[in-house]
């Protein structure tokens, strides 16, 4: 695994998770053209000649093997820059955060046989749109609701909301 850190693996794994869900839901996925460390992936309908059509959604991905369970859901620390970039409401395309939780042991992340491919464990999504600015210097603790699975069905719901002019 020369050169590949656990962090790199987590990042790549969470991308694969989102791409798998979007593929089944029937949406295209791409990386943003402009270097932007707060947006990892964009999800949209595919138009003619591979162009982008609405509804459209942008995502920031986080991956953790040790989430803290709190009253509000799964808590984790987000860099203040990422927090700010996700809470702004002055964006043309809505943004959400997707938290992918993986097992502690790398060997357990993926299970495969002739019948199935299992990716462990689960992704959760949340919107930080309209949140108040934080006085913190480096990170902000946010809690992701445990009932908001990032599933095919959930993605359809989110895209429908956006298509209707709303925000997830």
Partner 1 sequence: MRIHLRDPETLKQVKPLQLVSYLRGRGWKQEIQGEAAETWTLVQEGETFEALVPLDPDLRDYANRIADLLGTLQAVEGRSESQVLSDLLSSQHDVIRLRSVHERGSNGAVPLKFGSILIQRTTDLLLAAACAAVEKRAVFPTRKPTAALDFLDRLLLEQTERGSYVLKILSPVEPLLQQMLPFEEPDAEQPFARRASMVLMQALHATRTAAAKAMGSGLMQPFEEAVQMGVSANLCEAVAALQQESGTNSVEVRMTWSPTRPLPRPIPDRVTLSPDLAPVLQEAGRMLREKSPVDDFLLTGYVVQLRREEQQKEGTATISGLVDGNVRKVAVELDPETYQAAVDAHQQQLPVSCEGELMRAGRGFQLAHPRKFVVLRED
Q: Return the SS3 of 62.
A: strand
Q: Is 160 in the site for partner 1 (CB under 8 A)?
A: no
Distances (CA, A) of 72 to 69, 96, 121: 8, 17, 20
Q: Is 51 in the site for partner 1 (CB under 8 A)?
A: yes
Q: Is 34 in the site for partner 1 (CB under 8 A)?
A: yes
Q: Is 57 in the site for partner 1 (CB under 8 A)?
A: no
Q: Is 69 in the site for partner 1 (CB under 8 A)?
A: no
The answer to whether 158 touches 125, Cβ cutoff 8 Å, is: yes
User: In this chain, which of 10, 18, 39, 57 binds partner 1, going by CB under 8 A?
Assistant: 39
Show Cβ contacts of residue 108 under 8 Å, excluding neighbours closer than 6 positions. 120
Q: Is 36 in the site for partner 1 (CB under 8 A)?
A: yes
Q: Distance between alpha carbon 26 and the CA centroid of its chain, in Å?
A: 17
Distances (CA, A) of 133 to 26, 33, 163: 35, 28, 28
Q: How far is the CB of 3 from partner 1 (least distance, A)?
A: 24
Q: Name the CA dihedral angle for 131, 167, 21, 141, rounded to a multiple of 10 degrees.
A: 10
Q: Is 62 in the site for partner 1 (CB under 8 A)?
A: no
Span interacting with partner 1, options 30-38, 59-67, 74-82, 108-116, rule CB under 8 A = 30-38
The enclosing H or E element of 52 equals strand 52-64
The answer to whether 30 touches 20, Cβ cutoff 8 Å, is: no
Q: Any alpha helices (H) in 65-167, and if so which ranges? A: 80-87, 152-163
Binding-site string for partner 1 from residue 101 to residue 140, where x marks contact by CB under 8 A and - marks none = ----------------------------------------
Q: Is 37 in the site for partner 1 (CB under 8 A)?
A: no
Q: How far is the CB of 29 from partner 1 (least distance, A)?
A: 14
Q: Is 53 in the site for partner 1 (CB under 8 A)?
A: yes
Q: How far is the CB of 38 from partner 1 (least distance, A)?
A: 9
Please give the residue ranges that form the binding site for partner 1 (CB under 8 A).
32-36, 39, 47-54, 56, 58, 85, 88, 90-93, 95, 165
């Amino acid at each position: 695994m020369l050169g590949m850190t656990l962090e790199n693996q987590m990042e790549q794994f969470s991308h694969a998770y989102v791409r798998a869900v979007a593929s089944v839901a029937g949406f295209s996925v791409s990386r943003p053209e402009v270097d932007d460390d707060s947006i990892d992936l964009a999800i949209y309908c595919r138009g003619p000649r591979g162009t982008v059509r609405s509804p459209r959604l942008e995502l920031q991905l986080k991956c953790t093997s040790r989430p803290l369970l709190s009253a509000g859901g799964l808590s984790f620390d987000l860099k203040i820059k990422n927090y700010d970039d996700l809470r702004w409401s002055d964006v043309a395309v809505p943004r959400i955060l997707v938290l992918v939780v993986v097992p502690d042991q790398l060997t357990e992340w993926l299970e495969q046989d002739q019948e199935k491919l299992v990716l462990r464990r689960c992704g959760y999504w949340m919107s930080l749109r309209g949140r108040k600015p934080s006085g913190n210097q480096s990170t902000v603790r946010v809690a992701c609701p445990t009932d908001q699975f990032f599933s095919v069905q959930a993605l359809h719901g989110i895209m429908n909301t956006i298509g209707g002019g709303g925000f997830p």
